[in-house]
Amino acid sequence: MCALALRKQGIPVVLCEAEPGLTHDLRAGAFHPPTLEMMAPYGISERMLVDGIKVRHWQIRNKPGDLIAEFDLGLLADVTPFPHRLHLEQHRLTPIQLDVLRREGGADIRFGCKVTGFTQNAEGLSVTVERGGEAETIEASWLIGADGGRSVVRKALDVEFEGFTWPEIFVVASTTHDFGAQGFAYNCYIADPTEFGALFKLPHDGPPGLWRLAYPANPEETDEALLEAPRVEAALQRLVQKPEPYDIVYKSTYRVHQRVAATFRIGRVLLAGDAAHLNNPLGGFGLNSGIHDAVNLCDKLGRHWGGEGGEELLDLYSRQRRAATVEQVQAMSIRNKRLMEERDPEVQRTRLKELIAIAADPVKAREHMLNTSMISGLKRANEIQ
């Protein structure tokens, strides 16, 4: 996204991707309205809508699947051309972005090219990369580290990655079973003291698509034990019991972190996406906030490149996007997790009653939708000077 946003402004770009090609794995797949708005000018959102699933309603349920509250993104139709979430696997977004970037032309795209380090001064940078077992140096004006949670760029900057790692391991299981037949919305959050989680539908290879359930598990157990067929089957049966076994297509595990870099800029090096911040999946904020980083950053970098402002524009990027991450993404995702996993029955009952009241009041529900769809927080952060 950064490369495309820069190329659209005529800025020369070298894109280094350590993997030999685009990855295909169980990553994020829910896009909020402002994210679709940001990608629309590039023709990306229109192509995503071809196969993506529009999700206007989302729910909070408990176990065994009882409905607690439902929210309608249609309440935001007056403030966004996309009054819905869009579900599409990340591995189906990246080919669209890469195709648009190649059609735009002018980008030097290097797969299997791993950044290993850099040096910088007031005039520019020398970035060292490894490709095909050989070292190379790339001279550049700016370096954007969008290289994930284990970011080589962030570690080389020695920027503190403030925060913590949640104790649980998360299990992700995808099934062909149609939870919609039981009244589940295409996006549901499950409240439970020991096995909270998220359930949502993704298009997969086309109709009928797949339903993906993410739930926490004991971190002291091995991945092999957690992914044993009877264990995953039991977790799905606890959500919705049925006589026949579930058809489980994919299953995997991952750890969840809540961390934010102390700054998103040092000199000519900038951080974006997971390299700058990580959060738990409850709310679907991680991938979205990374795209928000890219659009904000490349707007400011483009203006600076074109002589419309000094380097203070890049400091403004760091202030705005870090504020959005801390005040919105981190705060909401932590609050969502703690609500879903609350162990005190009385406390959880009180909090869930509050959500029921919000869902029943169109004015309060609209405000809730503006927050959970990232519209309000994005507006507040972009007002920072």
Q: Residue 114 CB: number of other CB atoms within 10 A? A: 15
Confidence of residue 192 (pLDDT cuts 50, 70, 90): confident
Q: What is the pLDDT of residue 5?
A: 98
Q: What is the pLDDT of residue 325?
A: 87
Distance CA(71)–CA(122), nearest Å, equals 51
Distance CA(186)–CA(56), nearest Å, equals 9
Q: What is the pLDDT of residue 246?
A: 97
The answer, yes or no, to whether residue 140 has pLDDT greater than 80, is yes
The answer, yes or no, to whether residue 341 has pLDDT greater than 90, is no
Q: Is the CB of residue 69 less than 8 Å from the CB of residue 359?
A: yes
Distance CA(374)–CA(279), nearest Å, equals 14
Most confident region among 18-27, 145-154, 283-292 by mean pLDDT: 145-154
Helix or strand run (H / E) with residue 254: strand 248-261
* Lowest model confidence (mean pLDDT) among 92-96, 279-283, 323-327, 381-385: 279-283
Q: Which of 255, 273, 282 is nearest to 324 (CA)?
A: 273
pLDDT in tens, 195-253: 888 999 999 988 889 999 999 899 899 999 999 999 999 999 999 999 999 999 999 99
The answer, yes or no, to whether residue 91 has pLDDT greater than 90, is yes
Cis peptide leading into residue 64 (ω within 30°):
yes
Q: Which residues pair with 292 in a beta bridge?
A: none
Q: What is the DSSP letter of 328?
A: I
Q: Which of 194, 189, 187, 199 is nearest to 341 (CA)?
A: 194
Provide CATH code, domain 2-53+85-163+258-338.
3.50.50.60
Please give the model's pTM, rounded to 2 decimal places. 0.93
Distance CA(68)–CA(57), nearest Å, equals 13
How many residues belong to the chain? 385
Instruction: Give the sheet arrangement for strand 125-131, strand by strand.
Output: 113-120, 125-131, 134-140
Q: Which residues pair with 270 in a beta bridge?
A: 144, 265
